[in-house]
Structure 1
Amino acid sequence: MAAMGAMGRGKDRISIALLAICSVAFRFEMALLSLLIGLFTAKSLMGFVRYSLVLAIIGSACVLVVVPIDSYFWQKLSWPELSVFYFNAILNKSSEWGVSPWNWYWKVGLPGTMLLAYPFAVAICAVDRPMRYLCLPFLAFTGAMSLLPHKELRFIFHVIPVLNTAAARLLSRATGSPLRLVRWIGRAAIVCILTSTIFVTTSKVYISRGNYPGAVAILDAQRIIDTPVVIHIDESTAMSGISRFLQYRQDWVYTKLQISITVIGLTRLKDYQRTTTKTTPMCSRISQRLEVLVLWGTGWDLIQLDVTWLVGLKKDVSLSHVKFYTDPKSIFTDENRRRIKFHEMLIGFCPKDTYIGEAPWLPFWQSKHGE
């Protein structure tokens, strides 16, 4: 928005500099948006060439600053934004996190975010030529991002302020109309947009709390378990809300070192059963003295437990030290605590005085069953 504001005030160099910095340091796909802005705003081919050349020069200068800083912290030659772009766009591996229809941004992403402002933005682009030229680069960028199978709203988040500006332009024209009825319609639309935005945003914030079972699990565990333990965090919990901000127990140790445990069980799905195999991370240090208490989510019948060891780990673990409970709710009887998706979480813990080397270890993970 700062770049577009600078361009609107005739400060093209500042606008290009801001776009180049954003492309190199924050979101590499902004380079595509920058080129589209130059393509739609340049008055001639030579103007676009000069624009692209200045963008490339400033971007190269930013690379000379960003890469050494990132390489220092990563301890290897690194340009994170280029790596992310290569992974997502070139290798197209972002689709491993899910795919959406090609028109998801147009039918779900933008309407679900802009709400009632979305039709006003579309309408002004159809009737107002200056606003159409303002929005065209961003609409073209959204179309280009729609070609990728994996879609997230954050990929086009910088499109929304421009479309909101277009919607505001139409409402401004309506409230300034000489016709009284049009003025009243414009004012009513503004009230409806603001009211619906506040209500929907508040509701989504509350509902989205259920999308982070890992965060709910670690908060519940820190409140329920009184003894000092070691918490193991796997990929699933790390991606579902657990962060350092939630690790507030000073007498606990948090770790991500792990081995793999493969569980073969029967999945109960409506009227039939099928055998399912899944690999679940567990703590990396374990011995016969460690009794692991596993709270197994309902919906599974345990058939077999196999432990796959990594290099350098002990192999004398007795599986008799692993106890399974099919109903986590039967272990903790406090009815007042939150139970959001707690049946999907596997929790294991050991007492503080169980030491392997210099520290005790606790496996702690979240797993979705019934796949």
Structure 2
Amino acid sequence: MKNVVILGGTGSIGDSTLEVLNRFPDQFRLFGFVAHKNVSKAENIIKQFKPQIVCLTDDQAALQLKNKVSDVQIISGNEGAEELASHPDVDIVITGIVGAVGLLPTIAAVKAGKRIGIANKEPLVMAGQLMMELAKKHQAEIIPVDSEHSAIFQCLNNHNSDVQNIWLTGSGGPFLNFSEEQLKCVTIEDALNHPTWDMGSKITIDSSTLMNKSLEIIEAHWLFGIPFESIKMIVQIGSLVHSMVEFVDGSTLAQIGLPSMEIPIQYALTYPKRLPNSDNKIDWFSVNQLEFREPNPLLKRSLDYAYEVGKSHPSLGAVLNAANEIAVDKFLKKQIKFLDIFTILEKSLNKFNDVQADTIADIIDLDFNVRQEVSQWIQ
């Protein structure tokens, strides 16, 4: 029996992870989870899965939850999240916290030598080099859960030196065929209408700008040690092909599956074994063709930001991530327009291009400074 902790237990990754745990009750136990302040959902999870420890990072919400449940230890704050992620009785940590706030609990799990099913891009984008060095030092296992990186992980099978290119696939987002005039008029509702995946609002906006692919390029570089220039993006209509690895001999391996996060989460939990999953089978006779396309050229500048990070200091990834989080938040609050997101990102990369952050503490300071600066621009 493996003890599992979910960072982001009340979010979409949490939902999918709980479905997998429910499927294999004899092999995995929910030891605990971290959430922000969704008291009612946390209470429901506690009643169904009976975890040992639950952390709500919002102190007031944690107090409310403590008054509603018994037979479970309730802790709070960011320190509580780090404590739970590194608990000695925990075997596997699934990281699904959106944004930079997931960095420190993920690092805590790495330092504790856990197996980490990493679904949130931000820790690797912000501190990929440091994180992979820490994982090696503390013998932590980092298994990608992001569907694209799980696909690459499965296709590579430790043949990283034989790779010609990695092809990150994507749906192209809701604006695959939009003109510049149409992009100028994009609304929040338009951007939240993803063609394939049901995700949180921040990630859905990132999909619409292709910033999710930009962050995934950086993530793939650190996970697999593949040069930035060998990591490319291609649109696959229907989201059945989750990514491909092209080898030097001309052969290409693709990982194909239904667009369900349960599949990569289950693989991260069971690796290197595979357990039966009858709920996510492809009806191959209904697949008429696999269609690939280039992304919208008007949105490809998001990909250029990742390559710019590759040519600069690794900490520029933290700049890109922080600026993007603020820009997306302001867009969702209707304080800026859709195309303003790109303007903010370009201005941020230029402003902080020479800044180097060499420790986790430095990266956290840089993240704070970028957020402050970008917020002032938008006021």
Q: Higher Cα Rg: structure 1 or 2?
A: 1
Fold shared by both chains (TM-score > 0.5): no
Determine which structure has the larger helix proportion and give its number.
1
TM-score (norm 1): 0.22
Structure with more relative contact order (C-alpha pairs < 8 Å, separation 6 or more): 2
TM-score (norm 2): 0.22
